Amino acid sequence: MYALYISIYVFIAISAAIALVLGVFTASRGVERFGSKGVMMVYLWLMMLAPALRIMTAPREYLTDADATLAGYTAISGPVTWALRLSTVAIVSVAGVVMLMALIRRQKLSGGTFLAVGLGAVFTTMLTSAGLGTKPAFIHQSLYTVLMLATLLVMPRIAPEQVAIQAKRVLAFLMIGSLVLAVIQPAHYVQTGYVGIIPGFHYRLHGLAPHANSLAPLALLYLILAYWVRGKNPWHMLGVVSAAAVLVLSQSKTIWLTALLIVFVIVVTRVSRQFGQELRSARIGWGTITALGAYMGAGLMLLWMFSGEASRVFHALMADSDVSTLTGRTDIWRVTLDTWRKSPWFGYGPNLWDLDFRIRHHGALAAWHAHNQFLQALGEAGIVGLTSMLTYLAALVYYAVRFAGPTRGVTLALLLLILSRTMTEVPIRFSVLLDATFFVHAVVFAVLVMLARQASAAGQASASLQAAEATAIKPAQLPQLT
């Protein structure tokens, strides 16, 4: 019997080794054939397809927060579990091949250095938290996310617009699919009895996302990318209409307010550029007229904000806990801070707010995280973790501001899509690869990286051209005859 067990283990080990070799070989051939566009397509599609399949097959109940904490996705079927695993293996294999090819070519960073520093700081924090925290633990999924993002810094460069095009295709599939499935099987994808701010409308679309608050950012991301890269086919308009419908039906007030702020920022960015051009040319155009109108509108808005009507609108918007009532959040924050004080430099560890932690803190069972980006970093990885997270966010802010003009404000819009949720949610997490929140994070990172690398390549080409012109050999002048 002992020999039989040994034979089985040896067979499994050999099979796993063969599968690994075949997987790496297939990934390498695929990377060579389809290039960086193919790599981007694999990343984005696999990040969302398997989780969408999980939503479609797992039972869903709209429970109270406390019940939902213990329920979760407990009935995932075997085939779906393997689909999730194979998706992860595929992404990691492709990322590993890309990184290996970059090492063989001795690829150097060409743009996006600040982002590389921020990502390196986050990776260092993962190691310190895993080894030196109050409860040391190693979560291997965190390595997958960092590896995938790191490959975007070293793989052959693609146009930033190509990232937007690939992301739009995935998002259009999710938006249209959510609406179609909501019609076919409303009990599974639409919550009834929800009380929002739309009078008489008591429905909330959760669609192909774990929650409406995860679906709404995806819809807004599509609209931002559609504004930047505009298609000329009917699918583009269908995607825009579907994303707008999902944004409304999801009834996420946080994202609604973020959308209004994004529209304001984009308008200000475009008007500022046009106004500056008109000032330099000493002429009056639409930029000047719009700027003056904006100043007048801001004055009227300021007066309205002190009226009773504004107070009523504010209280209506604040009626939902996902925006601001902070019901329970202050307790969650208090528990996180108390936990951090026990290990101020390195925090609790990567298992902060896991099931075991929640069970030991009965008053905060409904929390999956600290409901604050900065407190999550502080509680999980201490002062070192918070410093790393601020460095990473500073890199995102730097490149978003730098490329705001060339992208007509799109980079600022993408940045706001993340920053708007940092006070009540944790939009930047590295512990889950196949996740809607990480998808948004990855798209924003990819766009900023490719913009930085594009600018660096343009700068190097310009410098080379100037150097060539400066060192050009001039024809020798013939001596003048006297």
Distance CA 84, CA 91 (A): 11
Per-residue pLDDT at 291: 47
Is residue 295 one of the residues assigned to a domain? yes
Q: 102: closest CA among 150, 159, 142? A: 150
Average pLDDT of each block of 10 consecutive residues along the chain (482 residues)? Answer: 65 62 58 78 94 85 48 60 90 92 85 94 93 88 93 94 96 96 93 85 91 94 95 87 96 92 86 58 49 52 54 52 52 88 92 83 66 92 94 96 92 95 90 93 97 91 78 57 50
Indicate the number of domains in the chain.
Answer: 1
| Residue 472 belongs to some domain of the structure | no
Phi and psi at 109, nearest 5°, equal -65, 135
- Domain assignment present for residue 461? The answer is no
Distance (Å, rounded) from C-alpha 359 to C-alpha 355? 6
Residue 242 lies in a domain: yes
DSSP-based three-state secondary structure for 152: helix
Q: Report how far apart, in Å, the C-alpha atoms of 173 and of each of 49, 447, 466 are.
A: 10, 20, 46
CB atoms within 10 A of CB 319: 14
Q: How far from the centroid of its chain's Cα atoms is residue 372's Cα?
A: 16
C-alpha distances out from residue 212 to 157, 190, 246, 265, 365, Å: 34, 9, 9, 25, 20
pLDDT for residue 467: 79
User: pLDDT tens, 94-117?
Assistant: 999 999 988 888 878 888 999 999
Pairing of strands 203-205, 190-192: antiparallel
pLDDT of residue 270: 76
User: Does a structural domain hold residue 272?
Assistant: yes
Measuring CA to CA, which residue among 343, 44, 82, 261 is closest to residue 165? Answer: 44
Q: Which candidate, 112, 17, 81, 64, places its Cα nearest to that of 457?
A: 112
Residue 417 lies in a domain: yes
Q: Which domain holds residue 163?
A: 2-65+77-455
Give per-residue pLDDT as tens, 399-427: 999 999 899 899 999 999 999 999 888 99
Contact 88, 135 (CB under 8 A): no
* 319 HSE (CA, 13 A, CB side): 12
End-to-end CA distance of the chain: 110
How far is residue 370's CA from residue 336's CA, in Å, rounded to a whole number?
Answer: 7
Sign of the torsion formed by the C-alpha atoms of 226, 196, 441 and 189: negative
**Which of left, alpha, beta for 353 (phi over 0: left; psi -120 to 50: alpha)?**
left
Q: State the Cα–Cα distance between residues 363 and 81, nearest whole angstrom.
A: 32
For 190, phi then psi, to 5°, come to -125, 130
H/E segment holding residue 293: helix 286-305
Would you say residue 393 lies in a domain? yes
Distances (CA, A) of 8 to 1, 5, 15, 20: 11, 5, 10, 18
Residue 432 belongs to a domain: yes
